[in-house]
Amino acid sequence: MSSNPSPTARALRALDILQTRPGVTADELAKRLGVTERAARRYVGILREAGIPVESARGPYGGYRLGRGTRLPPVVFTEAEATGLVMAVLDGQPAAVDVDDLVGNALGKVIRALPENVGRQAAALREHAAAAPDRHSARPDPAIASALVAAIAARRRVLVAYRSESGNEWETEVDPWAVVVRHGRWYLLCHSHRADAIRTYRLDRIRAVQQTAHEFEPHDGLDPVAVLEENLGTGREFPTRVVFDAPLVDVAPWIRLPMGRLEPSGDGCVLVGSTSNPVMYAQEWLAGVPFAFRVDGGEELRAAIARLVSRLTSALADQNLTTLSRSGTAQG
């Protein structure tokens, strides 16, 4: 049996491309459909015969686009697309298996709107799949995310009310450059006018967003993910500086980006960063690095490590006394 899509399926795919890429040329459309340019024009013809106004223009800025006010048919998913959508939702929002969850309720509406032969498999996957929540992930308020995305699109500066991990609260004006999702956490990458520097803010810690009348110019050639990762370890309340005797190439695989910037230093390396949570930095991050180190800067981090050492030493003290007692009894 041939697995090639039918002309109708290809025409619907062409419609999807026209919706997302207005101005697409016949050559580009053909490449995306995996057909010849002549075949691509034929699929455009099928759409026109179905009453969908597809306009075409010649010249360097020409191409196909849908006519204004076009009333499109209902969204059509293939079985693979529907299943992939459910998988992606459950991967990002494990609670979506519950119909009472906000995203779960929306997913249910999508599944119910699907044709029976397509929706059956998606519904079965949702019903019988189980997803373990990522303890490091954090879900922001959809209204906050929506307000930030609207400001980014409008190129408008915003006033954000923020609450740090340590509980400090403040307001600051920022130019919102991008919203970045990284390992289950949502971040706002922006230029802070308060600090006059690039900053990254967790969306789940933003309490309110207010768009201002000030416009800003987007950062040319911005790679949001790269800039976010470069700046994750900066701008926190408590500075940190940790020196390792081991070479940078050995230490680097053990350093998380939010810990700071790792630089070579003599025969070893130095980690320069900042943190809002010295206890987590000490207990979860530094404690997991299998190399000797010393804290060269950051009194808050030094204090957190001192408390950790005291607690671990205390945990071993009673055991050592018991061992010595048993040893003395055996000798007696």
Question: What local confidence, expressed as pLDDT, does residue 1 receive?
Answer: 39
Domains 7-66 and 142-228 share a fold: no
Question: What local confidence, expressed as pLDDT, does residue 325 receive?
Answer: 53
- Portion of the chain with pLDDT greater than 90, in percent: 36
Type of residue found at 147 = A
Q: What confidence tens digit (pLDDT) does each residue in 47-74 have?
A: 888 788 888 887 666 788 888 766 666 6
Q: What is the mean pLDDT of residues 106-112?
A: 84
Q: Domain spanning 7-66 has what CATH number?
A: 1.10.10.10
220 by DSSP, 3-state: which? coil
Q: 64 φ, ψ to 5°?
A: -95, 145
The single residue listed with the structure tokens 């995305």 is 149
Q: Given CA atoms 147, 151, 156, 160 in this order, what sign does their dihedral have? A: positive
pLDDT at 241 over 70: yes
113 by DSSP, 3-state: which? helix
CA distances from 159 to 94, 139, 285 (A): 32, 21, 32
pLDDT at 328 over 60: no
Which long-range contacts link 47-54 to residues 24+ away (Cβ below 8 Å)? Answer: 47/11, 47/14, 47/15, 47/18, 50/11, 52/15, 54/18
pLDDT at 191 over 90: yes
> Which helix H or strand E contains 228, and what residues bound it?
helix 224-231
Q: Indicate the fold that domain 142-228 takes in CATH.
A: SH3 type barrels. (2.30.30)
How far is the first Cα of the chain from the last one, in angstroms, to the nearest whole number?
86
Higher-pLDDT residue of 182 and 239 is 239
- For residue 332, name the pLDDT band (cuts at 50, 70, 90): very low
Q: Given CA atoms 74, 75, 78, 82 in this order, what sign does their dihedral have? A: negative
Q: What confidence tens digit (pLDDT) does each residue in 159-184 have?
A: 999 998 778 899 999 999 999 988 77
Q: What confidence tens digit (pLDDT) does each residue in 16-48 have?
A: 888 878 888 989 999 988 899 999 999 898 888
Domain boundaries, given as residue ranges, for the chain: 7-66, 79-128, 142-228, 238-307
Higher-pLDDT residue of 331 and 302 is 302
Q: How far apart are CA 85 and CA 70, in angstroms?
A: 26
- For residue 12, name the pLDDT band (cuts at 50, 70, 90): confident
Q: What confidence tens digit (pLDDT) does each residue in 252-307 have?
A: 999 988 898 899 999 999 999 998 889 999 998 999 999 999 999 899 999 999 99
Q: How far apart are CA 157 and CA 175, in angstroms?
A: 5
DSSP 290-318: -S-EEEEE-HHHHHHHHHHHHHHHHHHHH
The segment with the largest mean pLDDT, out of 37-41, 60-64, 111-115, 134-138, is 37-41
